[in-house]
Amino acid sequence: MIPESWLAERTRHIELSGIRKVFELGKSLKNPVNLSIGQPHFPVPEPVREAAKAAIDAGHNGYTVTQGVAELRDRLAADAAARFPGQDRDVLVTSGTSGGLLLALMAVVNPGDEVVTPDPYFVAYPHMITLAGGRMVPVPGYPDFALDPDRIAAAITPRTKVILLSTPSNPTGVVATPEALKAVAELARERGVLLISDEIYRAFHYDGPARSPAEWDENVLVVEGFGKTYAMTGWRLGWAHGPTRLLAEMAKLQQFTYVCAPSMAQHAGVAALDYDVTELVADYRRKRDRLCEALRGRYELAVPGGAFYLFPKAPWGTGTEFVSEAIRNNLLVIPGGTFSGRDTHFRISYAATDETLDRGIEILNRLGERPA
């Protein structure tokens, strides 16, 4: 047993993810209905797999330049230029979207600086901010989880360094309106605050085209990734684009931490950009509609406009109490307190087969009334 004094203070503020705890509980269940996993259930597309194999066979197994291989960076830069014409946006290939977010926070947050983010938030945000030495300032988004520029503005203080947004959101799936994104982008510019836009679910917009706050300010840092779109979550491939000066500092930090994104994944990423995921996204929209319709009337919920999550209010008890009962009924979902300062909701992932969804819907509707 090592002495407690060996451990850094920052580790004491970081607990095992509630998602991982549910995964551990799931190991004890026989054939559980798993609606907890936040990753696509479809396989990596064949052209992407073949490109990775070809890269390995061609000897692309060593380090790349920290910024990423030229072919991939050029393609990503062209994508950013097409989305944000007239802007001067530099590109950095990162070791996953989470890697990009952590590099960004490490590059700009000093000890004691504040990072404003809507609540509910992605499970890693508080801990990334802690690692950077900052303090998270959550802005309540209940009950409908809509991005509220006035609430964001009220949370800003002289110590605020960053506004961190995610649209579509994990865990709610809610998509911020263009009007709200524009207002927050303008707010960040006026207050001299960096706006980081986490757009990992950009491909998964069901009711309209993807929009970004970077449309209204070229200083917005956008962080994206391949993992969710192409089922490459374990390949750890993301990218960031934004102001050249900031990207240079992030690249410097990456050089001495992650070094670079996996080489073969970068070469596969070039092939992924040519793969059309329209039908896969349409299938997830159908799953969303099916799940929302099946739970309507029994659960209070905001219909998600993107990603592949539903964040209903627990019909009785706390989110944790409800999820505990769900697990006792062989259903794996995630308590809302994992993503929030409140423990009133729970997250469902509908990145699952139709058969799994059917089983989950049956259990959820049975649990809709408090057990005796």
* Residue 237 lies inside a defined structural domain of this protein: yes
* Residue 372 lies inside a defined structural domain of this protein: no
Of 272, 292, 311, the residue that ends a domain is 272
* 3-class DSSP state of 261: coil
pLDDT of residue 252: 97
Statement to judge: residues 243 and 182 lie in one domain: yes
Q: Does residue 198 have a pLDDT over 60?
A: yes
- DSSP secondary structure string, 16-41? --HHHHHHHHHTTSSS-EE----S-S
pLDDT of residue 9: 82
Q: What is the mean pLDDT of residues 212-229?
A: 97
The enclosing domain of 177 has a CATH number of: 3.40.640.10
Q: What is the mean pLDDT of residues 105-130?
A: 97
* Residue 146 lies inside a defined structural domain of this protein: yes
* Residue 75 lies inside a defined structural domain of this protein: yes
Dist CA 365 CA 315 (whole Å): 10
Q: Does residue 372 have a pLDDT over 60?
A: no
pLDDT of residue 17: 59
Statement to judge: residues 20 and 54 lie in one domain: no
* Residue 96 lies inside a defined structural domain of this protein: yes
Of 103, 69, 127, the closest CA to residue 253 belongs to: 103
Are 66 and 254 contacting, i.e. CB atoms less than 8 angstroms apart?
Answer: yes
Element (H or E) spanning 142, and its range?
Answer: none
pLDDT tens-digit map of 302-315:
999 999 999 999 99
Q: Where are the beta strands (DSSP E) in the chain?
A: 33-34, 90-94, 114-119, 135-140, 160-166, 194-198, 221-225, 238-242, 309-310, 331-332, 334-335, 346-349
Give Cα separations from 47 to 55, 72, 140, 265, 343 (angstroms): 12, 16, 42, 12, 42
Q: Does residue 232 have a pLDDT over 80?
A: yes
* Residue 253 lies inside a defined structural domain of this protein: yes
CA dihedral for 30, 31, 33, 34, sign (positive or negative)? positive
Q: In what order do the strands lie in the sheet with 135-140?
A: 90-94, 238-242, 221-225, 194-198, 160-166, 114-119, 135-140
Statement to judge: residues 143 and 264 lie in one domain: yes
Are 85 and 77 contacting, i.e. CB atoms less than 8 angstroms apart?
Answer: no
Statement to judge: residues 23 and 80 lie in one domain: no
Of 199, 191, 244, the closest CA to residue 226 belongs to: 199
pTM over 0.85, yes/no: yes
- For the chain, what is the domain count? 2
Q: Which domain holds residue 300?
A: 4-44+277-367
Dist CA 166 CA 331 (whole Å): 27
Statement to judge: residues 173 and 288 lie in one domain: no
306 conformational bin, left if phi > 0, alpha if psi -120 to 50, beta if neither:
beta
How many Cβ atoms from other residues are within 10 Å of residue 259's Cβ? 11
* Residue 314 lies inside a defined structural domain of this protein: yes
User: What does pLDDT average to over the chain?
Assistant: 94
Q: Does residue 370 have a pLDDT over 90?
A: no
Statement to judge: residues 106 and 162 lie in one domain: yes
Statement to judge: residues 13 and 57 lie in one domain: no
Lowest model confidence (mean pLDDT) among 131-145, 200-214, 337-351, 358-372:
358-372
* 3-class DSSP state of 163: strand
Of 244, 272, 300, the residue that ends a domain is 272
Statement to judge: residues 355 and 296 lie in one domain: yes
Rg (alpha carbons) of the chain, rounded to whole number = 21
Dist CA 137 CA 126 (whole Å): 9
Statement to judge: residues 286 and 268 lie in one domain: no
* 3-class DSSP state of 128: helix
Residue type at 78 in one-letter notation: A
Pseudo-torsion of CA 324, 329, 332, 333, nearest 10°? -60
Statement to judge: residues 180 and 220 lie in one domain: yes
Of 234, 253, 272, the residue that ends a domain is 272
Give alpha helix (H) positions in 298-337: 319-328
* Residue 249 lies inside a defined structural domain of this protein: yes
Statement to judge: residues 263 and 156 lie in one domain: yes
Q: What is the mean pLDDT of residues 113-135?
A: 96
pLDDT tens-digit map of 277-299:
999 999 999 999 999 999 998 99
Dist CA 168 CA 314 (whole Å): 22
The enclosing domain of 301 has a CATH number of: 3.90.1150.10
Statement to judge: residues 227 and 209 lie in one domain: yes
